[in-house]
């Protein structure tokens, strides 16, 4: 069964049709990259997956649970769907370790010590143990994004959503974040990644989804996508993005 | 200038009484502080609540909050004092109305505190709302994405930062409460301004009287300001934009 299943999803902002008949699926352990020009709806689509954005038509199931249905316990669903944002969105008034423990304690009900141990081991995993008691504002962008990934992992997510995780970073910091993501993928994490990093897509992704004007134009294996993308729009996009 | 300076006036006895003018001023000062602090608490609780509600996705609650703010900030404070004192009791059910008018203890004090508290709550609600809306939208999303409920997102993510952001305007609001409490003399609260007028008429030493009152109000507002600055420093977030100090 697919971990994330998206079926005929349509969304309007007022009269603007942002998502048009989007259908796709992400299997357990699969890494899917979503790309496309800005304004194509890819960020909106990924935010629909954990119900941060409502949609008006269609269905999304995560691990068999329907996201768009009225009675769904969305906080519970979200607590095991990790999400990483373009602008990190760490909680600035908390220290790094508090960022990692707060939801473990308040949402999952873990004890203080257990949460802290978990947090510290994840900080170790992203190589930031010595920053545990710093505040996010004292970290570089790349470091903040690695903390944000660790924060999401602290909840033992069944899958991870990345919304342009490297777009707000200085070029020299992109590598450190991609390395952490690559590690995650190698460990078998189910990942849906909105990104322009085609190198990451080539190396790590299993499949690539290409979107334009709210539609999914391509949904292909990485080999097919980089080999012979079928839509003309995807070809132009690729030629633009790969030429430099 | 044919004015008779008399700096010892504060220690003189009032006409036909045993108290000194100083004791009048001290009583007034006490009432001023009492009204100000009590209405400040009302204003913080209500203003925080209403300001927060105005940023939630609940449409009807937002409208209600908006109406509250518009109501209290579009009527002059002096008129509000009169409304609460003369009009509101008449609108109550008969028995309650009678009780309020004839038996309610500390009627002037309670009326003044409620009035100033609600007036200030509207202003605080506006600041709290602005503070929350000034946070990046992603903060709310990040809170929700962690599995927090909406109230938890407010409690742990949005309000702690919003409160820090609005501390400077909140400081001047806290100082305003002390200054605005002077209007309560109009409904007969024996606060500082009321006592000052009384002392001036009784002693005919207007300059000394109002200088003393000026100093006392200044002390209130100044202490209020220092307290808030202290809180501001204590809650400063390391590395956050304004932390360069």
Question: Tens digit of pLDDT per residue, chain A (244 long)?
Answer: 799 999 999 999 999 999 999 999 999 999 999 999 988 999 999 999 999 999 999 999 999 999 989 899 999 999 999 999 999 999 999 999 999 999 999 999 999 999 999 999 999 999 999 999 999 999 999 999 999 999 999 999 999 999 999 999 999 999 999 999 999 999 999 999 999 999 999 999 999 999 999 999 999 999 888 887 677 888 888 888 776 5
- Contacts with B161 from chain A: Cβ below 8 Å: 91-93
Measured between CA atoms, how close is A91 to chain B, in angstroms?
A: 6
Question: In chain B, what are the domain boundaries?
Answer: 13-243
Distance CA A236, CA B221 (A): 66
Whether the Cβ atoms of residue B111 and residue B119 lie closer than 8 Å to each other? no
pLDDT recorded at residue B245: 38
How many CB atoms are closer than 10 A to CB B228? 18
Measured between CA atoms, how close is B130 to chain A, in angstroms?
A: 18
Whether the Cβ atoms of residue B209 and residue B200 lie closer than 8 Å to each other? yes
What is the ipTM for the molecules in this complex?
Answer: 0.94
Candidates A170, A176, A179, A100; CA nearest to A134 is: A100
pLDDT for residue B242 is more than 60: no
pLDDT for residue B196 is more than 90: yes
Confidence tier at B241 by pLDDT (50, 70, 90): low
Each residue of B28-65: b (16+ CB within 10 Å) or e? bbebbbbbbbbbbebbbebbbebbbbbbeeeeeeeeeb
Q: Which of B147, B157, B163, B165 to mutate to test the interface with A (most CBs of A within 10 A)?
A: B147
pLDDT recorded at residue A193: 97
pLDDT for residue B244 is more than 80: no
Could A151 and B146 be called an inter-chain contact, meaning their C-beta atoms sit closer than 8 Å?
yes
Distance CA A25, CA A45 (A): 12
Across residues B81-92, what is the average pLDDT?
A: 94
Burial class (CB in 10 A: 0-12, 13-18, 19+), B153: buried
Q: What is the DSSP string of A137-184?
A: GGS-HHHHHHHHHHHHHTT--SEEEEESTTTTS-HHHHHHHHHHHHHH
Out of B144, B152, B164, closest to residue A52 by CB: B144
Distance CA B180, CA B35 (A): 10
| Angle in degrees, CA B100, B105, B108, rounded to 5 | 75
Helices vs strands, H then E, count in chain A: 9, 10
User: What would the pLDDT profile of B152-163 be if each residue is shown by its tens digit?
Assistant: 999 999 999 999
Distance CA A234, CA A212 (A): 9
pLDDT recorded at residue A241: 76
pLDDT recorded at residue A216: 95
Q: Does domain B13-243 have CATH number 1.10.3720.10?
A: yes
Residue B41's alpha-carbon distances to B29, B34, B37, B117, in angstroms, are: 18, 11, 6, 8
3-state secondary structure (DSSP) of residue B4 = coil
Candidates B186, B159, B190, B176; CA nearest to B39 is: B176
Backbone angles phi, psi at B158, to 5 degrees: -80, -50
- Tell me whether A93 touches chain B (CB under 8 Å): yes
User: What would the pLDDT profile of B22-59 be if each residue is shown by its tens digit?
Assistant: 999 999 999 999 999 999 999 999 999 999 999 999 99
pLDDT recorded at residue A232: 82
Whether the Cβ atoms of residue B34 and residue B109 lie closer than 8 Å to each other? yes
pLDDT recorded at residue B174: 95
Chain B, residues 167-186, CB within 8 A of chain A, namely none
Backbone angles phi, psi at B209, to 5 degrees: -60, -55
Q: What percent of chain B has pLDDT over 70?
A: 98
- Tell me whether B57 touches chain A (CB under 8 Å): no
Confidence tier at B243 by pLDDT (50, 70, 90): very low
Number of residues in chain A: 244
Helices vs strands, H then E, count in chain B: 11, 0
């Amino acid at each position: 069964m697919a971990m994330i299943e998206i079926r005929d999803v349509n969304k309007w902002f007022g009269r603007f049709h942002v998502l048009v008949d989007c259908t796709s699926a992400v299997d357990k352990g699969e890494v899917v990259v979503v790309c496309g020009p800005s304004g194509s709806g890819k960020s909106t689509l990924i935010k629909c997956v954990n119900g941060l954005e409502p949609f008006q038509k269609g269905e999304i199931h995560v691990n068999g649970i329907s996201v768009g249905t009225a009675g769904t316990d969305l906080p519970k669903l979200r607590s095991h769907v990790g999400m990483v944002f373009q602008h990190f969105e760490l909680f600035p008034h908390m220290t790094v370790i508090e960022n990692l423990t707060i939801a473990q304690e308040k949402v999952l009900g873990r004890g203080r010590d257990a949460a802290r141990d978990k947090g510290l081991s994840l900080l170790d995993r992203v190589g930031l143990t010595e920053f545990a008691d710093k505040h996010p504002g004292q970290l570089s962008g790349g470091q903040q994004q690695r903390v944000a990934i660790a924060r999401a992992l602290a909840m033992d997510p069944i899958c991870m959503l990345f919304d342009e995780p490297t777009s707000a970073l200085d070029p020299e910091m992109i590598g450190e974040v991609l390395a952490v993501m690559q590690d995650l993928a190698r460990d078998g994490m189910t990942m849906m990644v909105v990104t322009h990093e085609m190198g990451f897509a080539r190396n790590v992704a299993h499949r690539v989804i290409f979107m334009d004007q709210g539609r999914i134009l391509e949904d292909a294996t990485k080999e097919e996508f980089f080999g012979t993308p079928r839509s003309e729009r995807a070809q132009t996009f690729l030629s633009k993005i790969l030429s430099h | 200038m044919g004015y008779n300076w008399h700096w010892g006036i504060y220690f003189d006895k009032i006409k036909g009484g045993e108290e000194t003018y100083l004791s009048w001023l001290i009583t007034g000062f006490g009432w001023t502080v009492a009204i100000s602090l009590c209405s400040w608490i009302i204003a913080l609780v209500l203003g925080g609540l209403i300001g927060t509600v105005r940023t939630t996705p609940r449409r009807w609650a937002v409208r209600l909050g908006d109406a509250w703010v518009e109501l209290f900030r579009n009527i002059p404070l002096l008129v509000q004092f009169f409304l609460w004192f003369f009009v509101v009791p008449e609108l109550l059910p008969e028995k309650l109305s009678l009780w309020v008018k004839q038996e309610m203890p500390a009627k002037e004090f309670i009326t003044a505190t409620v009035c100033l508290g609600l007036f200030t709550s509207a202003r605080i609600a506006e600041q709290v709302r602005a503070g929350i809306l000034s946070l990046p939208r992603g903060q709310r999303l990040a809170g929700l994405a962690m599995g927090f409920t909406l109230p938890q997102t407010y409690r742990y993510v949005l309000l702690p930062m919003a409160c820090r952001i609005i501390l400077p305007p909140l400081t001047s609001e806290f100082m305003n409460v002390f200054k605005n409490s002077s209007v309560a003399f109009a409904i007969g609260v024996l606060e500082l301004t009321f006592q000052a007028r009384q002392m001036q008429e009784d002693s005919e030493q207007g300059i000394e009287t109002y200088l003393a009152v000026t100093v006392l109000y200044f002390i209130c507002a100044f202490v209020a300001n220092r307290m808030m600055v202290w809180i501001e420093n204590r809650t400063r977030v390391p590395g956050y934009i304004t932390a360069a100090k």
